[in-house]
Amino acid sequence: MEKEQDTSKKKNPHPWRTWILLLTIIQILTVFQMWQMNQKIWKALVQQSRDVIQLGDCLSDHLRNENRHAEAMNQLLEREKHLLERYLNQNR
């Protein structure tokens, strides 16, 4: 019986070492997974920032074009107004 216990102890002399090793491996894997997720989140954040900047640029261009259009319409309206005034003054 003692020989069996000795053999058993030799096969697994320190069971707590196995647990410590297992916990260490789990911790390392967890840290690696967290690092990977952090990288993915960071890349998504950078891409989102780029998208927001691009959207801002498009909005700025759109507003600039809208202002040009409004100015062109105002100039056209002024010309038509002057032509109408001239026409009305001639027919008096």
Task: Supply the pLDDT for residue 14.
Answer: 81
Task: Supply the pLDDT for residue 91.
Answer: 79
In this structure, what token pair is assigned to residue 72? 């062109």
Yes or no: say if 18 and 12 are a contact pair by the CB < 8 Å rule.
Answer: yes
Q: Is 85 exposed, middle or buried (0-12, 13-18, 19+ CB in 10 A)?
A: exposed
In this structure, what token pair is assigned to residue 57? 């640029």
The whole-angstrom separation of Cα 61 and Cα 53 is: 12
pLDDT along the chain (92 residues), means of 10: 60 80 97 98 98 98 98 97 93 76
The CB-side HSE value for 10 (13 A sphere, CA atoms) comes to 6
Domain boundaries, the chain: 2-90
